[in-house]
Amino acid sequence: MRETLARNLRKYRRAQRLSQEELGHRAELDRTYISSIERCVYSATVDVVGRLADALGIRALELLRPASESAEAKSSSVTSAESASTKAQAKKGAKPSRKREEPAQRRATRKKPGP
């Protein structure tokens, strides 16, 4: 069950192009806790699953649904979750998610240590 939650949480978060930090902010959870759930380090309580689902605009059941269940149900849930996220962002006046930099770009912009 922990692996299913981790896989689905990551899938829905990425589908909405949310960082762990942004999802944590929306669910009022620490970014490191989201990371730990996605890596199966910690298991989440029912309350936490509910908060994550609310923050993603989906039903909690979608986070706990095994991968073997119908792809049709999942694809419709992702679509509705994306539209819910867009509506929530418009309502809050939130900034759109930043585009991720490629690893080479990050390395190029890092400060080099001094002598």
Whole-number pLDDT of residue 87: 55
Percent of the chain with pLDDT over 70: 59
What mean pLDDT comes out for the span 79-93?
Answer: 54
**At 24, which helix (H) or strand (E)?**
helix 20-27
Judge whether residue 79 has pLDDT over 90. Answer: no
Mark residue 82 as left, alpha or beta (left: phi above 0; alpha: psi -120 to 50; beta: remaining).
alpha
Whole-number pLDDT of residue 25: 93
Buried b (16+ CB within 10 A) or exposed e, 75-92: eebbeebbeebeeeeeee
Whole-number pLDDT of residue 72: 46
What mean pLDDT comes out for the span 71-90?
Answer: 53
Whole-number pLDDT of residue 103: 52
